[in-house]
Amino acid sequence: MKTGIYPGSFDPVTNGHMDIIERSCKLVDKLIVAVLINPNKDAGLFSIEERIEMLKESTKHLLNVEIDSFSGLLVDYAHYKNASIVVRGLRAIMDLEREMQMAQINKNIAAEVETVFLVTRAKYSFLSSSAVRELALFNGAFDDLVPAYVSAKLKSKLE
């Protein structure tokens, strides 16, 4: 069984992430979308539990997708989950340098784990979770950028 991991902060999950999840889950038997508990990033808008809940709701139509969280090294988590593939999305050339560095570090410490890059659909190439948070904070339109459940959560969070 081929298991893939799509790791990230997902604060919150956007339609850009959904695009990567929906496409990459067809390439593996099981896709684990893993929320990083990251001590290097500030607390963010949503708690880890809220991010997991939003991901679960937004992916419930995808039968081979599991939602989880992890801390520590990604490759250690991959070993723990018997996963051999890490999925990452590339939005634009600006992502490439950082993504290549992470993939090379991971390859250096765990040669058996492969990083696979999917190019994000052009209509989401500008999108990020922080852009969505900012739009929500300053009354900009974000309904088209996130799943409906996330949109409702954002509205109630910021009320």
Q: Footprint of ligand COA on this chain (CB under 6 A)? A: 7-9, 11, 14, 16-17, 20, 36, 73-74, 89, 91, 102, 105-106, 120, 124, 127-130
Task: Give the shortest CB-40-to-ligand COA separation in angstroms.
Answer: 8
Q: Smaller CB distance to ligand COA: residue 57 or 99?
A: 99
Catalytic: 61?
no
Residue 112: name the closest of 85, 80, 87 by CA: 85
Task: Give the shortest CB-61-to-ligand COA separation in angstroms.
Answer: 19
- C-alpha torsion angle, residues 157, 87, 37, 18 (rounded to 10): 10
- Would you give the end-to-end CA distance of the chain in angstroms? 44
Catalytic: 88?
no
Q: What is the H or E stretch that residue 105 is in?
A: helix 93-109
Task: Give the shortest CB-76-to-ligand COA separation in angstroms.
Answer: 8
